[in-house]
Structure 1
Amino acid sequence: MSAQIHDVFFRSADGLRLHARDIAPASEGASGALPVLCLPGLTRTSADFDTLMLALANDETAPRRVVAVDYRGRGLSDFDPDIAHYSVPVEMADVLALASELGIGRAIVVGTSRGGLIALALAAAGSPLLAGVVLNDVGPVIERAGLMRIKGSVGERPVPSSWEDAAQDLKRLFGCDFPALTDAAWRNWARRAWREQDGMLRQTYDPALAQTLAALNADTPLPPAWDAFDALAASPLMLVHGALSDLLSRDTIEAMQSRRPDLEVFEVADQGHAPLLDDEATITRIKAFCARCDRAA
């Protein structure tokens, strides 16, 4: 029987009820396989990783436990009344609380965008959690164009009248970044970006997140994080890059490779920021990287 995803709820240090998705390996033959901890993007949720989670947990060669978190203010986690807590350091602490709650001491971290920044923060903090890291379209340098585009897309959006309208709205926003997505894929994305509540569609994140980006402008980019990147030296490292990404430049990728010649880079065609990690080719490469981490451990 195939392994299935189930919900986990835990408490943050400041008392919020937070949510994660957890899936155990499909067979008992996974004792030597490291667990995988999936960290989503800024406004994204644990549901983004469902396809990857099922593929890793049900892998015939090396089935493994996979956990994906909803940060505070996202998915099924509580909103935080203090928007200052929507920050990488606080969310990093929540990730560590989840790992402790589930008894995970070492894991391969798959970090999409914001999740990758949290992985870098864990490295900078010297966390022993990192047995390997997959950075999904993020690096030590964030391009201004991508940062400003994200800023413009975060916040309260007009409520769609139907699921089809929700899918079309996403296609208008991100169609240039994902030109090859089918209508079915846009509808699936809509189901992750909205949920039905009290007879209406509601966003799956706290619109107050927009306020955390208010001070950002084209003249105030995020500072580079090369020291944090260099702190990953002891961990196997993979980079998934969207060929159409405006957040991670090829110059930055080349600089990353010069500092880490062993960096494994996989480019996803016809996808921008951030690759969806749900196609067969990407999943196959992540599986191979996880096996590399197992051997290193």
Structure 2
Amino acid sequence: MNLNVPPISYFVSDGLKLAYFDEGNPNGQPVLLIHGFASTAVANWVNPGWLKVLDEAGYRVIAIDNRGHGMSDKPYDADVYHPWIMAEDAVALLDHLGIPEAHVMGYSMGARVSTFMAITHPDRVRSLVLGGLGIGMVEGVGDWDPIADALLAPSLDDVMHLRGRMFRVFAEQTRSDRQALAACIQGSRDLAAKEDVARIEAPTLIAVGTKDDIAGSAQELADLMPHAEVVDIPNRDHMLAVGDKVFKTAVLEFYKRLEN
């Protein structure tokens, strides 16, 4: 397996045509990957080496392009981007592939979607890996309206907001539909209720960069959950933590413990 873009397939969920890839060992334990805001399955999981690492460890590696992202359909209505709706897309992909249960790993917005999936469809989630999102899951991660404004601005030169600039640059790098992303950021910020998070029985690994100023405390989120553990990703911010070797090693060790 190299880092080339894998073949992309499509399925339909909620009337939308959504893209995904299905790689690795077809007989291995399935790992469903759910990318972050303004990213794609390839940008989040292939380019940083996750597909290669999981494939070499013998897993079946499945990754979705969330609605509004990548090669999936891109509606402009903020109300279709609630995280529990995107969680239904992920479940629909498992249904499409005939997979009853998978390890589910999400990064940032993808961690939020993964959490709602574990809340609403606990029988489909073998384990959870939540990257780039800690207690912000239930307490919020600040004001994201400037990010929507930055995405809709005529040009990057018009964007003064620091985080807004970061996401505008990232959206341009991934050649994203910025209007769809603006709708997504407005619709996808629902918080998970503490009591719902506390009911998640799936074994959970929460991984956050020590320089991440978006996620909130990983330990505080883990403390709400019955079977959660934490890995700190040293000296990494929100953007750089995703491909870090410490994160990958921790996930492989987590999965190995679950198999024993």
Find the counterpart in structure 2 of residue 181 from structure 1. Answer: none
Find the counterpart in structure 1 of residue 238 from structure 2. Answer: 273
Q: Point out where structure 1 has 5 or more consecutive residues left out of the alignment.
A: 161-169, 176-188, 196-202
Tell me if the contact between 1:24 and 1:65 (Cα under 8 Å) persists in the aligned partners: yes
Find the counterpart in structure 1 of residue 173 from structure 2. Answer: 194
Deviation at 1:243, TM superposition (A): 0.9
Deviation at 1:229, TM superposition (A): 1.5
Deviation at 1:68, TM superposition (A): 1.1
Identity of paired residues, percent? Answer: 22
TM-score, structure 1 normalization: 0.71
Deviation at 1:130, TM superposition (A): 0.5
Find the counterpart in structure 1 of residue 10 from structure 2. Answer: 9
Aligned residues: 248
Which has the greater radius of gyration? 1
Find the counterpart in structure 2 of residue 242 from structure 1. Answer: 209
Q: Which sits farther off after the overlay, 76-85 or 1-10? A: 1-10
Mapped pair 1:56 → 2:54? yes
The one-letter amino acid of 2:209's match is: G
The one-letter amino acid of 1:153's match is: I
What does 1:64-143 correspond to in 2, within 5 Å?
A: 64-142=59-137
The one-letter amino acid of 1:21's match is: F
Tell me if the contact between 2:209 and 2:241 (Cα under 8 Å) persists in the aligned partners: no
Once residues 172 and 79 of structure 1 are traced to their aligned partners in structure 2, the CA distance between those partners, rounded to angstroms, is: 21
Deviation at 1:10, TM superposition (A): 0.9
The one-letter amino acid of 1:109's match is: V
Give SS of 2:110's match: helix
Tell me if the contact between 2:131 and 2:207 (Cα under 8 Å) persists in the aligned partners: yes
1:244-271, CA deviations, whole angstroms, 9 ceiling, x for partnerless residues? 2223333xx3433434475221111222
Mapped pair 1:229 → 2:194? no
**Residues 100 and 288 from structure 1, CA distance in 2 versus in 1: closer, same or farther, beyond 3 angstroms?**
same
What does 1:142-291 correspond to in 2, within 5 Å?
A: 142=137, 146-148=141-143, 150-154=144-148, 155-156=151-152, 173-174=165-166, 193-194=172-173, 203-211=175-183, 213=185, 223=191, 225-233=193-201, 235-250=202-217, 253-260=218-225, 262-291=227-256
The one-letter amino acid of 1:18's match is: L
Deviation at 1:111, TM superposition (A): 1.0
The one-letter amino acid of 2:97's match is: L
**Residues 22 and 273 from structure 1, CA distance in 2 versus in 1: closer, same or farther, beyond 3 angstroms?**
same
TM-score, structure 2 normalization: 0.80
Deviation at 1:77, TM superposition (A): 0.6
Once residues 117 and 163 of structure 2 are traced to their aligned partners in structure 1, the CA distance between those partners, rounded to angstroms, is: 34
Q: Point out where structure 2 has 5 or more consecutive residues left out of the alignment.
A: 157-161
Let me know the Cα RMSD of the aligned residues: 3.3
1:176-207, CA deviations, whole angstroms, 9 ceiling, x for partnerless residues? xxxxxxxxxxxxx96x8535xxxxxxx32442
**Residues 42 and 147 from structure 1, CA distance in 2 versus in 1: closer, same or farther, beyond 3 angstroms?**
farther
Deviation at 1:226, TM superposition (A): 1.4
Once residues 144 and 13 of structure 1 are traced to their aligned partners in structure 2, the CA distance between those partners, rounded to angstroms, is: 29
The one-letter amino acid of 1:49's match is: W
